[in-house]
Every structure is written in structure tokens, then in C-alpha cells.
Chains A and B, each alone.
Chain A
Amino acid sequence: MLARRNFLKASLAAGGGLLLTATLPTLAKAATLGHAGPDAVTLNAYVRIAPDGRVTITAKNPEVGQGIKIMLPMLIAEELDVAWADVQIEQADLDPRYPAQVAGGSTATPVNWLPLRQVGAAGRQMLIAAAAAEWGVPATTCTTAAGQVMHAASGRSLSYGALATKAATQPVPDLKTLTLKDPKSFTIIGKPTRNIEVPRIVTGQPMFGIDVSVPGMLYAVFQKCDAHGGRLVSSNVADIRKLPGVRAAFEVKGGTDLRGLLDGVAVVADSWWQANRARQQLQINWDEGDIAGQNSADFAATAVRMSKGRPETILRKDGDVNEAFGRAAHVVEATYHYPFLSHMDLEPQNCTASYADGKLEIWAPTQNPAPGSKLVSATLGIPESAIKVHMVRAGGGFGRRLSNDYMVEAAWISKVVGAPVKVLWTREDDMRHDFYRPAGTHFFKGGVDANGNLLALADHFVTFSQDGVIANSADMGPTEFPARMIEHLEFGASMIPLRAPTGPMRAPRSNGLGFAFQSFLDELAHAGGRDPVDFALNLLGKPRLLPDPPGPRAGPGFDTGRMAGVIRLVAEKSGWGREKLPAGTGMGLGYYFSHLGYFAEIVKATVNATGAITVDKVWVAGDIGRQIINPLNAENQAQGSALDGIGQALGQGLHLEGAKVVEGNFDTVLPLRMRQAPPVEVHFLVTDHPPTGLGEPALPPALPALTNAIFAATGKRIRSLPLKDHDLSTTA
């Protein structure tokens, strides 16, 4: 099945010691990124063991706060059998030898779990072989621990450092013959492991993209058209050049691809403050293009109109929903809506570029450097071989930094001024020039029988198109839950043309669909007089694996037993249904499968007479397989994801008017704050399945768990977000 040959190379490291270079076929595929097959992605690792025993492992993936910089080296170090304290981690640059340098889709764990451990095991075997040769004993009589090879019978031991140079000349083992550790003997994997960067973070060391400093660097701002894709007609740029500190100001003619260089005016100055201040004097005439109907209010009206007709596309049709509605004991119709969202990375988009003599050096806080390098090459007409991209730590990603628009801006501006330039966006730039989580409206109809069991469900999903095709991350698959759980189900979709660019945001699609479907299912449970946990377990039925339909996004399928498992666990941990809650307080359930992870969450919330919401507590139960690689980070990620969902539900939503985003800062789009943040209790259900990632799947259940809790507390059904737009008071 694996066409490509395993490739593991050992050589002498500069300065002595062993250097291991690995190119391995991946054995797990990243279903959510849609890779074509199991050996379509290769990945590499570099491991160096120095004569003094220090082990250096390169971290090849971008770090955006997901903890990958230590997680991947943990896998290698475990099987190499070294002490974690002896491991140093170096961040790699963008390097064509590393073909999958991307942070997205919660893919790093499934993709790297086996191959990186094999790299470590191969290194260990070569060190043992070197020791066995030295002592003239069979390799099978040697053992290892914490960077030492031991021979128990003779009581001898040698450190990896002492063996490293000799190990480099040993034959490279065949990966098939390697034995991996029994998980029971893990000393690194599964142990709470601290992020090695924290000492630098808490002392304010420069480490983020915005902190990059290059000799002779100038600072730039770039004003684009807030009506996405608008073209520059004219500007008063000549006046801007006379302002204090300004070194250059010029118009840029960009293209039509919203992910590339766009029309705008660049202002370059000695300091960023001067550049941004000068920009406030800019007067630009834009050709905004056709903005008709590009308003949130128009979208809402269009959605209602579309819902009255047949869907443009049928996504799935099982049984006969109308016949089933006809014999249902209760039929519920409801419309659910979620808004556009900005990623709101706390570090605004930025990039530093230095162009000189036909060569370009770039420092980019990006989640996805390879396409950025290609974009810069194509836009500036510079071969990729003349471009060097350094990956810099990013102050949050959440999917925003999968696009590289800031990279091409910095490169272009640096080339025009002939000096190193740091481009830094304001918060308003960041919020008005994002690749938005698309809004969506679901026109649902559902029917339950006399026992309160779900009989049929129909959804007309009104979503968005861009340039005639479904907008990025605005689609819905045919297996969206509860598809396959019931006999009669119909999903259809219609699309409204959209100008604003959309893109993936943490748990793409699922972050909106989870709210809509899980809220409506809760509504149906109550309509039939069923307890929501009961209703969910009944709907899931007996444990079984439902394979995905074939296609580029096909993964390992949906396991109803694993979903039920986390629902039971979260119900038990939260005390669901066991205590009588005071008036105004309620508990709500949300459960969702995404990015290979099964998560169920319960929120307890209180609404007082004035309508103020207190989120009292969140319980999270997740099943991400048989091994939590770093429990310390796993808990942090799960808590952060759940709270991210709570924050979105409470206070976040963007409006479009005339093709422009109205909101610009945190006064109108409200990030979650300390006083709103409830305790989050996280439990993992360990099941015998391959380990998977968790930067995303803990988010989707949090939103419906909260809105369902509000229903339980107040009897008011929340069918649109954010909650700040709802009046929940009972005093008026």
C-alpha cells in the first residue's frame, strides 16, 4: 500500500555526534484537510545527539499557541528514550524538505503519532548497536533509559553522547523491524509536560511576529478598501509624503484575488505610530464595485425568501420526510441563525520583510508558510529559491493565519522602498479584512413520535456563495448529525452571493452547525417531553461504526458508541438531572463529533430578572483516543476551546453594510473576559482508538450547551447568536 520508500538517514553531525534525518510516509491521514491518500504526505524530522548528550529536535510546524512545538518532539524523545530535560527544541524555518508545515485541522497528532515515534525508536536501536559493538555483546542484551545504554549482566553503561558518533556509522534499521515501547513504560508521552517557552513569555522576551526587528527597518501601514475587493481610483498620497516621519507613501495596484495583494495605499515611516498617524490624513477614492444587497439585513430577508422555495441543491434525501411529519405526534419548525465572525487573533496581522538584490527574507507569524512563499513569488516575480521564510511565533491563529495576505503586503512594500519593512495592521484592519467565519441560517422542521423519539428532520440551509461557488467553509456535508440516525431526513441548501471573503475558523463548519443542530435537537427533545441526555442516547442507538461516504474528506467514520460514551460521562460528572436547580438556573447539553474527536459538554447557567447571564460552570468530556500525549496542554486546549465557544455565543457577531464590516474593535465584538469565564472541568474518556488532536473539537458543543441551558433556566429558546442581542429580562 505504501508506494514510497521509507527513508531514514544517519550521518555524522557537524561537531560530532549523530544526525538523524527522516522522510516517512504518513500512516494516518488528515481527513479534515482532504489529503488524497495515506502516502500523499511525507514528513521529516531532524534529530541531533551531540557528544555531550544534548538532544536537539527541530519543531517543523508553526506554533500558534496549540502546543505543537513541544508535542511533536515528545513523540521522538519518548522512543529515543532520553530524559526530557536533555532535549532542546529548535523552530525550523520554511523548508521544502518539510512538506507539511501547517497548523490547522487538528491534524498534527494523527499524522505524526506513529512516524515520529519510529524515528525515535530507530535512533535508539542504532545507539544500542553502537554500544553492543563496543562491548562485544548481543544487542538484545542491552537496555536503555534516560539517555544511557546499559548492559545489566556486566553492569556497564554508556551515555548516548559517548555513543553518538559511533552510532552514526551503524546501519539504519528497517522501520518494519522496529519495536515501539509498550505505552505502560512511557516516561514522556502522557506525562504533564510544561511548555518550554513560558519562562520567556513571562519575562517579556521578544518572540512574536510583531517583535521582529531588523537593522534599518521601517514601519508600514496599508490602507485597503473596506468594501472587500474595491479598486483604488485616486488618492492624496502626495500630501501624505510631507507628514512627520514619513519616508514613503505610494499607491499599490493589486489583483482581484482577496487572498493576495490588493489595491491600497502604503505609508512607510520611521515609526509605526507616525505611519499610522499619517494614514489618518489619507483621502482615497475607491471604486467599491457592486455593493447592492451586501448588507446583513438584506441577507436575512433573502434567506427568508429562499426558505419559501425548494433548496437549490439537495445534499441528502432519506425516506420521505413529509409522510413522516404527517404521522408525527409533534412537529416543530424553527429558524436558527449564526453570524459572521472575525478570528480576533490578539496579535494583529503583521509581517516583516527585507528585500535586497533580488533576494527576499521574510519573518512571518503564519500557520501556513508554504503557500505564502508561493504567493510572494508569483506576485513579486521572484523565484521561490530567492525567498527565505522564517516562521515566527504567532499570537493566536484560529485559522486566520492560514492565509498569507500580510506576507505579500510586507514583501511588496519592502521591495518598493528598498528597505526592511514591518507591516502591522490595526485592530480595525484586522477585523475588517478577515476571512470570516461565514454566517448561516437553517430553516428546520422536525417531527417526534408519541414516545418522544425523533422521526424525521428537514433542514433548508441558506448559506453563501463566492464567485458562483460555495464560499470557503460555508458548506455542509451529507453526514451532518443526525443524518444516518433516522429514516426520514432531508438536507438542502441555497446560496446568497457574498462579497466578503470567508475562511476556516477553529472547528470550521462545525462551529456554526453545532449550534444550530444541537439547539434544534434539544428543542425536539423538549417537544416530545424527553430528557435531552436520554433523547440523545436513544437517537444514537446501539454502538456502531458508520463509515464515511467515499470522497476527499472521507475519514474513519462516525462511531455512535464513542459519542454516547462522552455524553454518559459528562452527564455523570456534571450531576445531570440529579439535583433540583434553583429558579433561573438550568443545565444544557451539547455534543458534537469533529476533527476526529468526540466531545459532549454540559453548561450550567443562571439568568437573573434583569436578563444578565452567568455561566456557572462547564463540564467537558472528550474522547480523542487511547493516549493523551500531553495532559497539561490537553486540559488547557479543551478549556480554551470551550470558553472560546462561550465567548462567541455571548458576545460576538459581525454585521455587513455596503459590503463593509461595521464593527472594528472589542467594544462592539466582545471577547470573553475574566468576570464571565466559568470554571471548566475537563474529563477524557480513554478508548482504544488512534490518538487525535484537540485544538478544535472541544469548541462546537459549548455554544448549544449554553443556549440549551438558558432554555432550561428561562423557557426562552435562543435561535440566533450572539446572546447580547437578546433581552432575557423578566422584569419588564
Chain B
Amino acid sequence: MQYTIQVNGAPRPVDVDGETPLLWVLRDTLDLKGTKFGCGAAQCGACTVHMNGVPIRACQTPIASVGTAAITTIEAIGETKVGQNIQAAWIALDVPQCGYCQAGQIMSATALITRVPAPTDHDINEAMSGNVCRCATYTRIRAAIKQAADAGRA
């Protein structure tokens, strides 16, 4: 089946089975490898992307359901001010260990700060608990979200 989806601001035609999860279309068809596979079951958040600004699990999103929604991936998150602040805070605080979960963490964190410019610990817990970090860098993820939020309000 032919689909044209909107990825990072550009129309991208793809020819795949309609049930193919967006995750594999991004990674293997469009060669956008920043979005990761961790569980395939909506349990880890490694595959988090934005659909019209809302974080979704790409492993659970069939391509046929995407329609004309705007999909944003980690490769383009730096084009927004919030995304830049998040990336800068992640670098400044040296958040990652293995780094594998961090694309998903950054997508969830960006959506959070966009929605709630000054998130509380409770907001962070709610927004980030779907993203597993096996290396358990949670202490720094939390600090980096706060630092990025402060930078956005400065």
C-alpha cells in the first residue's frame, strides 16, 4: 500500500503493509534510526515520537492510522526551542550512560515542557514513567528536565 506521511515537516511516500508499525517505517524504510526498539509492546517508550505534538509509542501505531498527522522524531526535535533546551541540558548534565533510551526520554520530556513549562516532580513522574532507562539515569533525567524548563523561562 502507498501512504504519504508527514515526517519532520516533509511528506514522505512509503509503500508498506498498512499494519506496519510507524517505528519500522521510520527506522527501516525512511532510514531515521534515532527512534529505538526496546519492547514492541508499549512498555518501554524507546520508540516515542510526537504525533501532532503528543508523545506516542511508534511500535504500537500502524502506518495506516497515521494519516496526515505531523510526526516529529528525535532527528528534528532540535528544531524547536524546547527541544534545543532539552538537548543542551542533557549534554550539560551528561545524562546518558548507554544512551539507548535517551531519544525516547527526550521526546517525552520535550512534550512535557511544551505542555507544562514549569513541571513539578509529580508532573515529571507522570510524563516520564512510560520511558524505561535500563541504566537508571533517572536522577539526571529529572535534573535535566528542570534545567531545561528553567532555561525556557529565562
Contacts and interface: CB of A to CB of B under 8 A. Distances in A.
Interface of A: 64-67, 192, 194-195, 197-199, 201-208, 210-211, 213, 219, 244, 271-274, 344-348, 393-398, 424, 426-427, 632-633, 636-637, 639-640, 643-644, 647, 665-667, 671-675, 677, 679-680
Contacts of A427: 38-41, 43
Interface string B12-52: 00001100110010001101111111111101101000000
A481 B136 CA distance: 28
B138 A632 contact: no
B98 A665 contact: no
A394 B40 contact: no
Contacts of A679: 139
B97 A674 contact: no
Contact of A666 (B28, B44, B99, B103): B44
B149 interface: no
Given A206-B33, A273-B24, A643 B136 contact: yes
B101 A346 contact: yes
Given A395-B99, A637-B97, A643-B138, 8 more contacts: A204-B33, A346-B38, A396-B135, A424-B37, A636-B140, A671-B134, A674-B124, A677-B136
Contacts of A348: 37-38
Contact of A203 (B29, B75, B95): B75
B137 A272 contact: no
A192 B93 CA distance: 10
A639 B142 CA distance: 13
6 contacts: A65-B98, A65-B135, A67-B97, A194-B94, A197-B99, A640-B137
Interface residues of B, number: 59
A272 B128 contact: no
Given A204-B33, A677-B139, A666 B100 contact: no
Contacts of B142: 674, 677
Contacts of B29: 271
A424 B41 CA distance: 16
Interface string B48-66: 0000000000000000000
Contact of A272 (B28, B100, B103): B28
B136 A346 contact: no
A346 B17 CA distance: 27
A273 B91 contact: no
Q: Which of B29, B136, B138 has the most A CB atoms < 10 Å from its CB?
A: B136
B114 interface: no
A573 to B, nearest CB: 16
A204 B73 contact: yes
Q: Which of B34, B102, B125 has the most A CB atoms < 10 Å from its CB?
A: B34
Contact of B141 (A213, A666, A674): A674
Contacts of B38: 346-348, 427
B78 interface: yes
B5 interface: no
Given A198-B95, A643-B138, A395 B132 contact: no
Given A195-B94, A665-B39, A271 B16 contact: yes
A344 B136 CA distance: 12
Q: Which of A202, A205, A272, A679 has the most B CB atoms < 10 Å from its CB?
A: A202
Contacts of B32: 204
B139 to A, nearest CB: 5
Contacts of A197: 96, 99
B87 interface: yes
B136 A272 contact: no
A661 B100 CA distance: 25
B129 interface: yes
B74 interface: yes
Contacts of A666: 39, 41, 43-44, 132
Given A271-B24, A680-B139, A346 B134 contact: yes
Contacts of A198: 90-91, 94-96, 99
B129 A675 contact: yes
B114 to A, nearest CB: 17
